[in-house]
Amino acid sequence: MDPRPPAIEIRDLRKQYGDKAAVDGLTLSVEQGCFFGFLGPNGAGKTTTIKMLMGLAPPTSGSIELLGLPMPERSLEIKRQIGLVPDESLLFDHLTGGEFIEFTGRVYGLDRSTSRGRAAELLELFDLGHLPRKLIAEYSKGMRKRVAMAAALIHRPKLFLMDEPFEGVDAMGARLMKDILLEQVRHGATIFLTSHVLEVVERLCDRVGIIQEGKLIAEGPLEEMRGTAETLEDAFVRALGAERETETLDWL
């Protein structure tokens, strides 16, 4: 048994927008050192859940503990130990990538020398070191994702919360980012990510959960969740009850 508290402990979490429950009674536990894939169709409540974990959206009811600490009561202490890659990477367009990463390190309390040194090393690690003077405003979406992930790493967090981190990233960039994340898990970090690219989840994650209409409908080890299905995509579609015959159009 792992004596450490779970990285994420959610109990009966609910987020209501008017008459609509975006997250509806979600209960979930993610152990430390786990690479967890949080899956669901569009509008299922994945991003809302991530926002509540990040402290960006207050829950209507229920409780959240991250690394054994209650959110939001100890949010500042929690945020010092987590790395964030939101769906929409909110970067400062008039900074270079290195300046933004260095700035993030300073926000997390690193001294100037350490922040600058780590920022330079992370730029090289993410294959952006050849663009030292290029402003983020000139970056492609994939490059912005790389910078966001580099900034999330600078303070060596224990827990990563990532919403579609590979969206818009080319094959080379995605391969690089996957290898870096797997290395973080090998060093004991926990990663909680959402992704619509199930092949990525299948390669990276050791546990997955599936949410539909704000409710957790399945959760467990990847192999157990896949069961007799050939791929995670097959198991995902089956869990959602969305299997149907492919329709055709006469004119298409």
Domain ranges of the chain: 8-81+157-240
d(CA 159, CA 156): 9
Q: Across residues 51-78, what is the average pLDDT? A: 94
Tokens at 86, concatenated = 């939101």
pLDDT for res 211: 94
Is the predicted pLDDT of residue 249 greater than 90, yes or no?
no
**What band does 246 get if pLDDT is binned at 50, 70 and 90?**
low
pLDDT-based confidence at 207, cuts 50/70/90? very high
pLDDT digits (tens, 9 = 90+) for 123-175: 999 999 888 889 999 999 889 999 999 999 999 999 999 999 988 888 888 89
Average pLDDT over residues 32-46: 94
Under DSSP, is residue 93 helix (H, G, I), strand (E, B) or coil?
Answer: coil
- Pairing type for strands 8-17 and 20-30 reads antiparallel
Collapsed DSSP state (helix, strand, coil) of residue 221: strand
Give the strands of the sheet with 82-85, arranged side by side. Answer: 82-85, 159-163, 190-194, 35-39, 207-212, 215-221
CATH superfamily of 8-81+157-240: P-loop containing nucleotide triphosphate hydrolases (3.40.50.300)
> How does pLDDT run across 169-189, given as a tens digit for each residue?
888 888 999 999 999 999 999
Whether residue 29 is predicted with pLDDT greater than 90 in this model: the reply is yes
Question: How large a percentage of the chain has pLDDT more than 70?
Answer: 96
Confidence bin at 239 (pLDDT 50/70/90): confident
Beta bridge partners of 211: 216
- Cβ-contact 84, 157 below 8 angstroms: no
Distance (Å, whole) CA 49 – CA 163: 10
pTM, two decimals, is: 0.90
- Residues ≥6 apart with Cβ < 8 Å to 15: 21, 22, 23, 45, 48, 49, 52, 57, 59, 60, 214
Averaged pLDDT score across all residues of the chain? 91
Supply the DSSP symbol for 136.
G
Tokens representing 93 are 């367009």
Asked if 72 and 13 count as a contact pair (C-beta separation under 8 A), the reply is no
Whether residue 37 contacts residue 195, with contact meaning beta carbons closer than 8 Å, is answered with yes
User: Residue 242: is its pLDDT beyond 80?
Assistant: no
Question: Is the CB of residue 184 less than 8 Å from the CB of residue 205?
Answer: no
Distance in angstroms (rounded) separating the CA atoms of residues 83 and 156: 8
Q: Which candidate, 95, 161, 94, 100, places its Cα nearest to that of 126?
A: 100
Question: Using 50, 70 and 90 to split pLDDT, how confident is the model at 243?
Answer: low
Q: How far are the Cα atoms of 2, 173, 188, 231 from residue 202, in angstroms, in the given order?
A: 25, 18, 20, 8
